[in-house]
Amino acid sequence: MTRYDGVDLRLNVAHSARMYDYYLGGFTNFAADREAAGHVLATAPWVRTAARANRSFMHRSTRALARAGIDQFIDIGTGIPTSPNLHEVAQGIRPRARVVYADNDPIVLTHALALLTSTPEGRTAYVEADVTDPVALLAAPGLCETIDLTRPVALSLNALLHFVPDAQGAHELVDHLKSVLAPGSALVMSHLTADFDPEEIGRVVGIYQAAGTAVQARSHGEFARFFDGWDLLAPGIVPTVDWRPRADEPPVPASAAAGYAGVALRP
C-alpha cells in the first residue's frame, strides 16, 4: 500500500485522473492505470486526441473568459497538473486572477505544488474535495479565503460530470454550485457523449466500470440541462473540438468527437 500523508493512494487500482494523465503522455500513472488505459486505447485509439482536445477547450474557454473580464476561477476535477494549467492561462491575461483548484483524488493533492505557482499579484489555492458534496467544497477554507463569491466567477467542470451518474445527483449538485455564483459568472463544462458512436462509447464505459469507475455518457439534451437558466455563449453546445477552434491549432479528426462542451453566463 502506498501512503502519502497518511492517505492510501490506492495505486493498485486504476484511477480516472491517472488514466487521463497516461492519455496525455504524462508520467503520473501506474501499472493498473496503464492496463485499464491500454484497454481503452485498444478499443478507441482516438481517446489520446480527444484528451488533448479537451485540454485545448480549457485553454480557449479560460482565455475567452479572462479577456471578457473574469478574474476569479474555480476548477473542480482539476486532474494531475499538465502545463499550461488553468491559472497559467488565466494569469497570462489577468495577472491578478485568483484560481481555486479542487479534486478528490489524493494523487492530485500530492502534485498540487505545481498548481500553486501563482503570479505574485494573483493567488492560487488547492482544495481536496468531492464535487458530490458541493456544500463542503464551497465551505473549504482555501476556497473562501481566495474567492469572493459576491463577484463573478468562472466555474469549470471539465471532463468531470461523466464520473457522476444521475444516481449521485449530478444535476442537483451543478444547480447548487450555480445558485451560489454571482450574476455575470460563467459555467464551463465538457462531457463524454455516446451520441456520435454509441457502440464504441459503450465499450469504453464498460472498461472504466470494470476497473471500478462509474461513467455515464450523456446526450446533447442531458448535457444541455446543466446550463438551464443561464445564457449560452456562441457557438452554444457543440462537440468539444468545435467550441471556438483556433486557426493555428491542427484540426481534430471527427472520429475524436466524443464529447460536448459549452460555456454559459448567469444573467
Ligand X SMILES: C[S@@+](CC[C@H](N)C(=O)[O-])C[C@H]1O[C@@H](n2cnc3c(N)ncnc32)[C@H](O)[C@@H]1O
CB of 233 to ligand X, least distance (A): 18
CB of 57 to ligand X, least distance (A): 8
CB of 193 to ligand X, least distance (A): 14
Collapsing DSSP to helix, strand or coil, 100 comes out as strand
**Residue type, position 163, single letter:** F
Cell of 113: 505544488
In the complex, which residues of this chain contact ligand X (CB under 6 A)? 16-17, 20, 54-55, 58, 76-79, 103-105, 108, 130-132, 158-160, 163-164
Cβ closest to ligand X, residue 131 vs residue 252? 131
CB 110 within 8 A of CB 78: no
CB of 254 to ligand X, least distance (A): 21
DSSP 122-174: SEEEEEE--TT-HHHHHH-HHHHTT--TTS--EEEEET-GGGS-GGGTHHHHH
Cβ closest to ligand X, residue 20 vs residue 230? 20
CB of 213 to ligand X, least distance (A): 8
Cβ closest to ligand X, residue 10 vs residue 151? 10
Cβ closest to ligand X, residue 9 vs residue 131? 131
The number of residues in the chain equals: 267
Cell of 181: 455564483
Cβ closest to ligand X, residue 35 vs residue 121? 35
Q: How many CA atoms within 13 Å lie on the side-chain side of 37? A: 24
Cβ closest to ligand X, residue 136 vs residue 229? 136
What is the spatial distance between Cα 229 and Cα 69, in angstroms, rounded to a whole number?
Answer: 22
Taking the CA atoms of residue 42, residue 44, residue 49 and residue 54 in that order, the dihedral angle to the nearest 10 degrees is: -130
Cβ closest to ligand X, residue 17 vs residue 70? 17
Phi, psi angles (nearest 5°) of residue 261 = -140, 155
**Residue type, position 139, single letter:** A
Phi, psi angles (nearest 5°) of residue 247 = -65, -25
